[in-house]
Amino acid sequence: MWKSIAFATCLAWYSLSGVAVNLPAQDSVPEFRKNTENTFTVTGRVVNNATGQGFAGVRVSAVNTRITAMSDEKGEFRIDLPDGRVTLSVEAPGFHDQIVPVKGRHNIEIRILEDNGKAFYDETVFLPNGANSVTRFSTGITAINEDITARLNGQLRVLSQSGIPGSGSTIFSRGLNSLNASAQPLFIVDGIIWQMQENAYSAVDGFTNNPLALIEPNDIEKITVLKDATAIYGSKGANGVVIIDTKRSRDMATEIEAFINMGYRTPFKTIPVMDAKAFRLYASDMIRGMDVDADRLQFLDDDPTRTYYKSSHNQTDWFDQIKKGAFSQNYGVNVRGGDNIALYSFSMGYTKNDGNLDNTGFNRLNVRFNSDINLAKNFKVALDIAFAQTVNHQVTSGLDEVSSPLYLSLIKSPLYHPYQYDTDGNLTARLSDTDELNIGNPLAILNNTANIKKYRFNANARPTYRLMDKLELSLLFGYSWDKEKERAFIPDKGVSDVPLYNDLGEVYATALNQVRNLQGKEVSATIDFRATYDILKDAVNKLQVFAGYRFYNDIYDYTFGKGYNTGSDYLSGLENASSSLRYMSGQNLHQRTISWYLNGDYALYNRYIFNVSAAMESSSRFGRKADALKIGGVPWGLFPSVSAAWIISSESFMKNVDFINFLKLRLNYTLSGNDNIIDYARNSYFQSTHFFGNAYGLTLANIGNEKLKWESTSMAKVGLDFCMFDNRWSVNADFYTSRTQDLLTRKQLDDVAGVKYFWSNDGELENKGFEITTNLRIIDRKDWKLDFGAMIGKYKNKVTSLANGSYTTSIAGGEILTAVGQPAGVFYGYKTKGVFKDVAQAKEAGLSVKSNTGELIPFEAGDMHFEDVNGDHIIDSKDRQIIGDPNPDFYGNFNFNFSYKGLTIGALFTYSYGNDAYNALRANLESGSSLINQSTAMQNRWVVNGQETDIPKATYGDPMGNARFSDRWIEDASYLRFKSLSVSYKIPVRTTFIQGLSVWASVNNVCTLTKYLGSDPEFSYSSSVLYQGIDAGMIPLSRSFNLGVKINL
């Protein structure tokens, strides 16, 4: 009976799909006809690999034909083919699709596997170019980049930029393909470029814009990563392409899905700092080198009768004061269905995530409507409309000692109390002001969090007309409208005053409080016309070509206002700021791109596969005199790609190699470009400048370069895909080498030019590496399933040419070297050999530093012992060398997925090995040079002759440079992270109204194994290549617990 039900179900499924199927009788397989001259008859049996029993209702068809058969109750089928060299496609709902080459066989057994969301035989199986797709996503995530970070780490190198809800990620594809231009991939959502606004300005320092947070993860059907044949995307494809497809209705049956998720995120951790007792001892050391009267410092006055005693003799854990657990909630409903005229998919959702800092958080409201309408027999249109609004309540992040509450909580002395005492010694609810060490109160910042609102409306329409069976015309029109409003206010009460300097370094005013406003708008329009012609399509040959024209226009403008001294913290508007301390700036950026593209695919017996594609593109970012093809006086870039594949497993000599189900060799060469720089970099222009705090005027802001062009990245790749042991083990492996030429660089100018730099094309770099993905069905039983999957990636990056030689870039107190023969982003500083434990050891080394007057000052006991590279016994910039490399040796993820009937348990791990990090936060918290609080490691600092330690003595001002940028601050940031553990259960309930009910629970960021001393070994200060591996004290990730329920009606 059950076989009959399964058979009927599958038949209904195929009927709804519009497939005409000729079925054999269900009671028995019909008598097979003898082979004729034009017919090759194949019989076989489809078996469920888990049970070993025949499976009914499986569609078996010859690829690229209408020849189809279906298995009967015993799993048996018969199909008449035009040739014995064709390939069969096997499909069954709930099971993995398969392809089976006939290879001249007349009888075939096909074993099918239940679907686990990781398809090997996807749409790329008959293409020469590889792609990686994800169709199942984690629960309890706010933005889809969180899943890209976890599930595609290995195919991409992905790093979280912050633990703040809705924050972005830094993504690199196949190494680092640029130095100064963006190295982030191109994002395509439903066929339209999703503007990532990487150059967007913000009113909040440390805030990372993340347009992917505007997409509800539950709306996404599939994410595909393209790294081959990206030439068709022209000057935007060099860094890879990430394609996001949102959900659409696939059949006419009405489906209603509602879900609710609730979560809790634990407080994050950071570097531990000294308590009150340890700080007093440290301060005593520091005061010895300061020109200050110790008796005037309140925290050293132990007279309890003093009015300030209670305020300055405490044991305050400032970090504990600002952190908290955070709750999240997510609600949504999806409705899909339609009729033979139109199919639709509607979704609506709301997300609210509180932050781990008081008064911070992220909210999102999203609505999406996708439809597919049949207007006539050969004419249809896809129409998509979506709107999203996000609200961020944020604060400054990073090493800002004025307005970053996290950093303030670490450097502020624990001796001071967060709240004021009145004259009678009673504690009040009023926040304490800046302390006597001029360190502000972090709670004052959290009471005035910034408000960031973003809106995006986008509409896509794709009419498609089929003139004949072989020719199809389509026109994609996309429109996107974005608006942003940001408001930030830093109060006077509880915050340090900030001196304002003019260009001569003179103080012209003091900022008591500060207000920042930003308003921006972006409008994007895309037109993509395409003609597709199926020249040949049968069991032997398939030849398809398509050609098209694409126009992309983007306008982004913003206005930024900043003002100081509103007169009162109750007056927080920009209009209240002092007229002489109010500044306005902004930009109007306009980008236009025109592309003509062509693609051709040919397959012989679906075994020998070829692809040729090319794009010819011009952009407003290109200089008029760029070294390129000129048409009508306009420079055009030409980007070709050639690919080939050989499905070896389809060859007749593989006929008896039964354990190999599929084996494909892939070759590819692609030339693509990267033009992601400031829109007007090729132009000379002026900007408004405030002179010495007294007057405004125009100054030269950029010197144009009409020879400016795109970066060109050529990549050669060989790939191998195979599936073995009844498709239970699959592997995709790619080995690549790439070369980027015409690097976009900022070349230095003479002082008389009026600006320091201008943009030019100079330099080259290369990447070599591999990426391997594997999936294995370890246990495959009727009720029990266990799957294992893994990804690993590796790249070696090297700068091969620089027109003006090597240079360094200063970031967060560190130095980044760019030099020929070295990887991008390496750390350049001093190597240490320990701490001089006594006077004799220091004298034996004989090292000194040279003061500003030329005096030699010797290192003494308790100072750092730096390596004297040039042997002149003077430690200076000539002794710097490479001290670390942020690029990993390899990175990736692995996962386990166990299921028993309706219960599923999943575990996901991510890892990175061999990458160094500059712990800039620790460099500040262990500098031992001022009266800011320090990490607990400073309790082991050198204090007495003969002491052996790795922490030098604390000296105010650090005259010997013990805290200079050195390998003291370079750490191994390798890690293994238990990224997520999830449990879901499909409750076996089915009624007239309820079609499915499931509950789930998950834990994200379960635990991390690492030697890294910072808050979190996974971080990214910026998406820029040169900023990688720099830990500037951003808010780290923390553990979260989530519960949810989903109901299908």
Give the β-pairing of 157-160 and 169-172. antiparallel
Say yes or no: 442 and 337 in one domain: yes
Residue 519 lies in a domain: yes
What is the structure's pLDDT at 752? 66
pLDDT at 582 over 50: yes
Say which DSSP state 117 is in. Answer: S
Average pLDDT over residues 17-34: 37
Say yes or no: 254 and 378 in one domain: yes
What is the structure's pLDDT at 753? 66
Give the β-pairing of 916-919 and 1030-1031. parallel
What is the structure's pLDDT at 138? 77
Residue written as token pair 């304002």: 500
pLDDT at 548 over 90: yes
Say yes or no: 813 and 833 in one domain: no
For 879-889, the pLDDT digits (tens) are: 999 999 999 99
% residues pLDDT > 90 (the chain):
64
Say yes or no: 570 and 653 in one domain: yes
Give the β-pairing of 764-780 and 826-829. unpaired
Per the structure, the count of domains in the chain is 3
Residue 912 lies in a domain: yes
The residue out of 63, 82, 115 marking a domain boundary is 115
Average pLDDT over residues 414-420: 96
Average pLDDT over residues 233-239: 90
For 808-845, the pLDDT digits (tens) are: 999 999 999 999 999 999 999 999 999 999 999 999 99
Gyration radius of the chain over CA positions: 32
For 990-1034, the pLDDT digits (tens) are: 887 888 899 999 999 999 999 999 999 999 988 889 999 999 999
The residue count of the chain comes to 1049
For 483-496, the pLDDT digits (tens) are: 999 999 999 999 99
CA distances from 157 to 40, 151, 220, 225, 792 (A): 48, 11, 21, 12, 10
Say yes or no: 441 and 394 in one domain: yes
> Which range, 85-99, 283-297, 590-604, 621-635, is most confident?
590-604
Rounded to 5 degrees, what angle do the CA atoms 678, 683, 688 make? 80
pLDDT at 925 over 80: yes
Say yes or no: 960 and 1021 in one domain: no
Residue 319 lies in a domain: no
For 663-718, the pLDDT digits (tens) are: 999 999 999 999 887 777 787 777 777 665 566 677 777 787 888 899 999 999 99
What is the structure's pLDDT at 13? 43
CA 599 to chain centre: 29
pLDDT at 209 over 90: no
Average pLDDT over residues 449-474: 94
Residue 1014 lies in a domain: yes
What is the structure's pLDDT at 30? 34
pLDDT at 11 over 60: no
Average pLDDT over residues 846-873: 95
pLDDT at 757 over 80: no
The count of other CB atoms within 10 Å of the CB of residue 629 is 12
Give the residue numbers spanning the domain of 79. 2-115
Say yes or no: 102 and 193 in one domain: no
Say yes or no: 643 and 612 in one domain: yes
Residue 798 lies in a domain: yes
pLDDT at 18 over 80: no
Nearest-CA neighbor of 162 among 1044, 1032, 1046? 1032
Residues in a beta bridge with 364 = 351, 390
Say yes or no: 191 and 237 in one domain: yes
Say yes or no: 667 and 766 in one domain: yes
Say yes or no: 731 and 792 in one domain: yes
pLDDT at 914 over 60: yes
pLDDT band, very low/low/confident/very high, at 169 (cuts 50, 70, 90): confident
Average pLDDT over residues 136-144: 80
The residue out of 64, 99, 115 marking a domain boundary is 115
Give 652-656 contacts, CB < 8 A, sequence gap 24+: 652/85, 652/103, 652/104, 654/103, 655/103, 655/104, 655/105
The one-letter amino acid at 407: Y
Question: How many Å apart are CA 947 and CA 119, to the nearest integer?
Answer: 62
Nearest-CA neighbor of 342 among 310, 306, 364, 370? 370
For 793-811, the pLDDT digits (tens) are: 999 999 999 988 899 999 9
% residues pLDDT > 70 (the chain):
95
pLDDT band, very low/low/confident/very high, at 751 (cuts 50, 70, 90): low
Residue 218 lies in a domain: yes
Across 191-200, 663-672, 759-768, 957-966, least confident range:
191-200
Average pLDDT over residues 876-899: 95
What is the structure's pLDDT at 199? 63
The residue out of 115, 142, 160 marking a domain boundary is 115
Within a 13 Å sphere around the CA of 108, how many CA atoms are in the beta-carbon half?
28
The reported pTM is 0.91
Nearest-CA neighbor of 128 among 597, 823, 604? 604
pLDDT at 340 over 80: yes
Q: What is the mean pLDDT of the chain?
A: 89
Average pLDDT over residues 647-673: 91
pLDDT higher for 295 or 511? 511
Across 37-41, 862-866, 887-891, least confident range:
37-41
Say yes or no: 732 and 851 in one domain: no
Residue 307 lies in a domain: no
pLDDT at 1038 over 90: yes
Residues in a beta bridge with 777 = 787
pLDDT at 32 over 50: no
What is the DSSP track for 736-802? EEEEEES-EEEEE--GGGSSSEEEEE--EEEEEEEEEEEEEEEEE-SSEEEEEEEEEEEEEEEEEE-
Give the β-pairing of 361-376 and 342-354. antiparallel
Residue 126 lies in a domain: no
pLDDT higher for 717 or 8? 717
pLDDT at 750 over 50: yes
CA dihedral over 408, 413, 419, 421, signed as positive or negative: negative
Q: What is the CATH number of the domain that holds 1032?
A: 2.40.170.20
What is the structure's pLDDT at 36? 46
What is the structure's pLDDT at 125? 84
Q: What is the CATH number of the domain that holds 9?
A: 2.60.40.1120
